[in-house]
Amino acid sequence: MGTSLKYRFLEFVNYHQLIQAGDRILLAVSGGIDSMVLLHLMVTWQKYFTMRLGIAHFNHQLRGEEADADEAFVRRVAEEFNFPFYCERADVAAYADRHKLSLEEAARLLREDFLVSCRRQNGYRVIATAHHLTDQVETILMRLFFGAGLEGLAGIRLKKEGFIRPLLFAEKNEIIQYAREQGIEFREDSTNQDLSLLRNRIRERVLPFLKQELKVTHFQPFLRNSLIVQDWLEYLKPQWAEVKKACLEPKNENKIGLDITLYNRYFTLFKVKLVEYILHQLSGEQSSLSYQQYQAFENWLRTGKQGRKFAFNPTIYASKHGEKVWFYRTSLIEHLEVDALLNPEDVYSLEHLGIKIKLRVVNSNEIMFTSDHRKEYLDLKNIRFPLRLRNWKPRDRFQPLGMKHSKKLSDFLTDEKNLMIPKEHALVMESRGEIVYVVGVRISEKYKITSKTQKAVEVKIEDYESARNTNNR
């Protein structure tokens, strides 16, 4: 077998049995270099597999005339090959706003819905996408940085629910070289150069650092490890079915019960999957539990009193009753318990309040004071991590910035005007049991920035909306 991309593609596809003789395969083609190289390789081996191919293109309507030009380009390519062409447009930005999603997540959901529907309606066995090994490395690193579980370390799946990724073995530079050698025409996506997007910063800064400074010559270990994890997750599927059957009370009138004793017998993977499954059943939407949410839920499960509520989002909460936790879907949530541990670079979402809280450590020259209490600074030398974020209690006291003595927090909140968070839902942040910040209101005098401050903890409150990003494949 040759070593060129063309023959390595065939070897990879055959080894993992991605394509069957006489297959009907729908190609997801954006017009970018990755999907155009995939199209070229599939056409190259079309007779070998006796494949019938179709092309699907999704216009996200995010880049105006540029996106329309991509659509016209892919349509022309499909006509040149005499392949069936399927296209759909959607207002991704409006969908993201309506469902409180990032642009990247909204684009992915709408795109996948279109592709799956197109596959089923037109008789294709699988959808082939152009995700490659460099995408895999970026994805795994992103998930590692922000607290991935085992499912996160599996990365982009080689085969999953009607999708295949035949290019997952190839690095981006190999795809670029192949396109150049074969004279393959493609479209450029201007957002790929936007370094405000995390994936792009990893691609342009972190990956070159790994290769230049750590002498990482290739990324094949990422592929091998991700495929091992994927195999293991497949092996666990029968056990997962048994776990669900044992732990859960069937859905009834917008509520689902979870047996606490049985839940606690399982390791983290199944615990997270149980909660995500419950959220999905109640909301009708795929739900991903962040590590901070899982940690906060576990802490609440251990220490929360009977009847106290834990919010997952604006319409779903959990409440303990005896040896069960009941998860409810409702249009109105009353008081919700918050109890979480936060470290630098953490982002904690409070969907029921419509905000998220970010922490990071900064140097003194990065401190920028404003009158907005949505961003505050605490002297790092007085802080011990993790910081605890919790609901305020009637007996709480703290020393507000500018005051010489402590004050009952209840009185302080009553005296304050225009609270960002209503008093009944107010939150405090504490270090070693002492309140350092009343969230969105004021910091403690004891933790203020002084002329001697060298480093600080920046606490930033943002509206609940993730970074927006979508990529052209």
Site of tokens 């895999």: 136
Q: What's the whole-model pTM score? A: 0.66
What CATH code is carried by the domain that includes residue 292? 3.30.465.60
Q: Could you say which of 197, 228, 259 is where a domain stops? A: 228
Residues 366 and 220 in one domain: no
Residue tagged 């009941």 (tokens): 326
Instruction: For the chain, report the end-to-end CA distance as a whole number of angstroms.
Output: 28
Q: Is residue 240 part of a domain?
A: no
In a domain? residue 254: yes
**38 and 174 together in one domain:** yes
Separation between Cα atoms, residue 27 and residue 52, nearest integer Å: 10
CA dihedral 379, 380, 386, 391 (to 10 degrees): 0
Q: How many domains does the chain have?
A: 3
- Residue 242 falls within a domain, yes or no? no
Residue carrying the six token digits 């953490």: 346
Q: Looking at the structure, do residues 305 and 422 belong to the same domain, yes or no?
A: no
Q: Are residues 128 and 37 in the same domain?
A: yes
What residues are paired with 52 via a beta bridge?
Answer: 24
Residues 319, 351, single domain; the answer is: no
**Helical spans, DSSP H, in 291-395:** 291-303
Q: Which three-class secondary structure state does DSSP give residue 53?
A: strand
233 found inside a domain:
no
Q: Is residue 144 part of a domain?
A: yes
Shared domain for 84 and 224, answered yes or no, is: yes
Residue 235 is assigned to a structural domain of this protein: no
Both 401 and 350 in one domain: the answer is yes
Q: In what order do the strands lie in the sheet with 387-391?
A: 339-342, 387-391, 427-431, 434-438, 442-443
Q: Are 208 and 347 in the same domain?
A: no
41 shares its domain with 83? yes
CATH of the domain at 379: 3.50.40.10
Report yes or no on 236 lying in a domain: no
Together in a domain, 36 and 158: yes
**Computed from CA positions of residues 37, 42, 47, 52, in that sequence, does the dihedral angle turn out positive or negative?**
negative
pLDDT at 418: 66
* Residues near 417 by beta carbon (within 8 Å), at least 6 away in sequence: none
Q: Do 286 and 358 reside in the same domain of the chain?
A: no
Q: What is the pLDDT along the chain (473 residues), one digit of tens a residue?
A: 445 999 999 999 999 999 999 999 999 999 999 999 999 999 999 999 999 999 999 999 888 899 999 999 999 999 999 999 999 999 988 888 887 677 888 888 999 999 999 999 999 999 999 999 999 999 999 888 776 677 788 999 999 989 999 999 999 999 999 999 999 999 988 777 777 777 888 888 888 888 888 888 889 999 999 999 999 989 988 999 999 999 998 777 778 999 999 999 998 889 999 999 999 888 877 777 777 788 888 988 888 777 677 888 767 888 888 889 999 887 644 567 788 899 998 888 877 676 889 999 999 999 988 877 789 999 999 899 999 999 998 889 999 999 989 999 988 988 887 677 778 788 999 999 999 999 989 999 999 999 999 999 999 988 654 333 334 44
Q: What letter does residue 192 receive in the DSSP assignment?
A: G
Residue 168: which of 110, 230, 87, 105 has the closest Cα? 230
Under a CB-based contact definition with an 8 Å cutoff, are residues 219 and 227 in contact? no
What DSSP element (H or E) covers 355?
strand 355-363
Residue 383: strand, helix, or coil: coil
**Residue 88 belongs to domain with CATH number:** 3.40.50.620
Domain assignment of residue 471, yes or no: no
Domain ranges, residue 265: 250-329
Q: What single-letter DSSP state applies at residue 402?
A: T
| Cβ count within 10 A of residue 276 | 18
Q: Is residue 50 located within the same domain as residue 168?
A: yes
* Residue type at 352 in one-letter notation: H
For residue 472, the model assigns a pLDDT of 42
